[in-house]
Amino acid sequence: MKKNNYGKHKLGIITVMIMVCIIVVCIRVIGGTKDSDNENDVAAGSEGSVPVNSPVADVSGSVSAMGEGVTYTPEEQEMIAVSIEEADRLASSGDYETALKQIDTAREAYPEASDLRAKQDELNGLYGQQMKANTLERCNTLAEEGDYLTAMHMIEECMQSYGEDNECLAAKEHYITMYKQDILQRSAAYSDAGDYVSAIQLLQSATKEMGNDPELETRSLEYESAYVSGVLAEADSRVSGQDFDGAEKVLKTAKEILPGNSRLDEAVKTVNKSRPRSLLAACPPYQTTVCGMVTGTDTITIAGKEYTNAVLIGENIYDDSRIFFNLDNQYDTVQFQVGHIDGGELRDRELQILYNGELEKKLTLSAGDLPQTITLDVKDVGQLTLIVPTTLGLFGDRSCFGMVNAYAYPETASLSGEL
């Protein structure tokens, strides 16, 4: 379409060029300046050679000033000029993006045109300035709304695309400062409300955005310490109540938030060490007298309930039942249940408990009651002995009891240092 619009102008230019050539030839003939036929043949035989001072060279532009070593015709030069003129018109209205597209299109047709390349560089600079100005304006609006993080990202993307300058760098530093202050204020508010998890997570996200920052790191360590102390106190409380599973769950939840925290790692180990252990498995009796061991698939029945891993005591009619355990001073508490075995004579029996060979206490085992739970404080106890004496002499006593659910509890270390 553009070629048709400028057809009349092109015809006029060609006409003028022909007239100028005729005038020049006439002048040369009249003035005797016409070269010999041989000289003309040489001149005509040279590739694109035109005298520098020739009026024809000035008019035709056979070697374009806009093309470095590339010949553009007058029509092509005019198209280049038109493209530049259109780009300037678009740029004057602030539409640098469309102006650049206009030049890009022209450069596809005339890639060596230096005027187009210069105009492209000029428009790129103007467009970059415009985009930076627009970005700064948008970032200021975001900052006023408190969205410093988005403003930081926008200004960084702008500088990556259009280059850095002092104004953009100053704006970025300002947004970073404001973002950091906002994070510190919000995390402090969470901390004051006792919500250390939200405070820690907020600081962690800020560190990912800003990298290592001494002030953020100090504040984060402060909140982590407070949070871990609270978690350990809760775990201590659960351990005190023999809720070891609950204590471990609390600690593992905290470890998901702070996976590298050494205090939590050590607390999990301590809880596992503090768990109760089967007395018969951890410290099986090293000697028994007239006692029966119930293991494997064998069971006994007490108060209508079947048990395995038990010890029969008082089953012999001629001698005392004795059980000896080597605790090796490793346990804090021993706990078990004793109940009358169903089907035997209903006679009460006596249970004697000895620590390190010395009688500690005597208990009555009631034949008609449900199993009773016996808890022993065995700190500093190496040997634990249980005795059920026979009471009927030669005729024996067939009232038999069973020791079940026996556990040894290691000494429980404090997780928080408060127990």
Over the chain, what is the mean pLDDT? 82
User: Which residues lie below 8 Å from residue 311, measured CB to CB, with a gap of 6+?
Assistant: 280, 285, 288, 291, 292, 293, 294, 323, 402, 403, 406
Q: What is the pLDDT of residue 298?
A: 87
List the single range of 31-35, 80-84, 137-141, 161-165 with lowest mean pLDDT: 31-35
Name the residue with higher pLDDT: 126 or 391. 126
Name the more confident of 193 and 65: 193
Q: Is the pLDDT of residue 74 over 50?
A: yes
Q: What's the pLDDT at 273? A: 87
Measured CA to CA, the distance from residue 207 to residue 92 in angstroms comes to: 45
Q: What is the pLDDT of residue 417?
A: 60
Q: Whole-angstrom Cα distance, residue 246 to residue 329?
A: 27
Quick check: 60 pLDDT over 50? no
Residue 399 pLDDT class (50, 70, 90 cuts): confident
Q: Tell me, yes or no, whether 25 and 113 share the same domain.
A: yes
Q: Is residue 147 situated within a structural domain? A: no
Residues 395 and 318 in one domain: yes
Average pLDDT of the residues in 52-81? 59
CATH number, domain at 238? 1.25.40
Tell whether 31 and 110 lie within a shared domain.
yes
Q: Are residues 229 and 282 in the same domain?
A: no
Tell me which amino acid residue 30 is: I
Domain boundary pick from 73, 99, 128: 128
Q: Are 109 and 25 within one domain?
A: yes
Q: Is 414's pLDDT higher than 50?
A: yes
| Span 78-124, pLDDT tens digits | 999 999 999 999 999 999 999 999 999 999 999 999 999 999 999 99
Q: pLDDT value at position 328? A: 93
Six token digits for residue 276: 């109760």
> The pTM is what?
0.59
Lowest model confidence (mean pLDDT) among 20-29, 94-103, 214-223, 231-240: 20-29
CA distance 181 to 208: 16
The reported pLDDT for the residue numbered 46 is 38
Q: Give the pLDDT band (50/70/90) at residue 340.
A: very high
Q: Quickly state the pLDDT bin for 10 (edges 50, 70, 90).
A: very low
At residue 400, the pLDDT reads 87
- Tell me if 403 is assigned to some domain: yes
The CA angle 272-276-279, to the nearest 5 degrees, is: 135
Residue at 7 is within a domain: yes
The verdict on 114 and 6 lying in the same domain is yes
Q: Is residue 181 part of a domain?
A: no
Confidence of residue 68 (pLDDT cuts 50, 70, 90): low
Mean pLDDT of 348-361: 94
Per the model's pLDDT, the better-predicted residue between 90 and 18 turns out to be 90
Of 89-103, 317-331, 387-401, the poorest mean pLDDT is in 387-401
Confidence of residue 25 (pLDDT cuts 50, 70, 90): very low
Looking at the fold, whether 17 and 55 belong to one and the same domain comes out as yes
Pick from 353, 360, 347: which is nearest to 391 by CA? 347
Please report how many Cα atoms fall inside a 13 Å half-sphere around the Cα of residue 263, on the Cβ side: 18
Task: Say if residue 28's pLDDT is above 50.
Answer: no
Within 8 A by CB and 6+ apart from 155, the residues are 135, 136, 139, 168, 171, 172, 175
Whether 381 and 307 share a structural domain: yes
Confirm whether 73 is domain-assigned.
Answer: yes
Residue numbers of the domain that contains 332? 278-410
Per-residue pLDDT reduced to its tens digit, 140-153 = 999 999 999 999 99
For residue 106, being part of any structural domain is answered with yes
Our measurement of the distance from residue 71's CA atom to the centroid of its chain's CA atoms, rounded to an integer in Å, reads 60
Last residue of a domain, one of 76, 110, 128: 128
Contact between 397 and 315 (Cβ < 8 Å) = no
Query: What long-range pairs does 172-179 form, CB within 8 A, spacing at least 24?
Result: 174/143, 175/139, 175/143, 175/148, 175/151, 176/148, 176/152, 176/210, 178/143, 178/148, 179/148, 179/149, 179/152, 179/206, 179/209, 179/210
What is the distance between the alpha carbons of residues 358 and 31, in angstroms, rounded to a whole number? 149
Residue 361: its H or E element: strand 358-365
Domain end among 274, 298, 316: 274
Calculate the alpha carbon distances from 218 to 42, 204, 207, 213, 389 in Å: 87, 12, 12, 9, 67
Mean pLDDT, to the nearest integer, of 207-228?
A: 94
- 350 and 376 housed in the same domain: yes
Q: Considering its fold, how many domains does the chain have in total?
A: 3
Rounded Cα gap, residues 294 and 287, in angstroms: 15
Other residues' Cβ atoms within 10 Å of the Cβ of residue 405: 16
In the chain, pLDDT over 70 holds for what percent of residues? 80
Domain with residue 297: its CATH number is: 2.60.120.1060
d(CA 65, CA 47): 18
Q: Can you give the pLDDT at residue 392?
A: 62
Q: Are 408 and 375 in contact (CB under 8 A)?
A: no
If asked whether residues 214 and 285 sit together in one domain, one would say: no
Q: What is the 3-state secondary structure (H, E, C) of 274-341?
A: HCCEEHHHHCCCCEEECCEEECCCCCEEECCEEECCEEEECCCCCCCEEEEEECCCCEEEEEEEEEEE
- The pLDDT tens digits of the residues spanning 264-278 come to 999 999 998 888 999
Q: Mention every residue, 6+ apart, whose C-beta is less than 8 A from residue 400.
A: 312, 313, 314, 315, 340, 341, 344
| 184 is a domain residue | no
- Asked if 160 contacts 172 with a C-beta cutoff of 8 angstroms, the reply is no
Across 356-370, average pLDDT: 94
Mean pLDDT of 283-287: 91
- Contact indicator for 110, 72 with CB cutoff of 8 Å: yes
Same domain? 323 vs 266:
no
Residues 76, 104 within the same domain: yes
163 found inside a domain: no
pLDDT of residue 355: 97
Under 8 Å between Cβ of 176 and 209: no
User: Bridge-partner residues for 293, per DSSP?
Assistant: 311
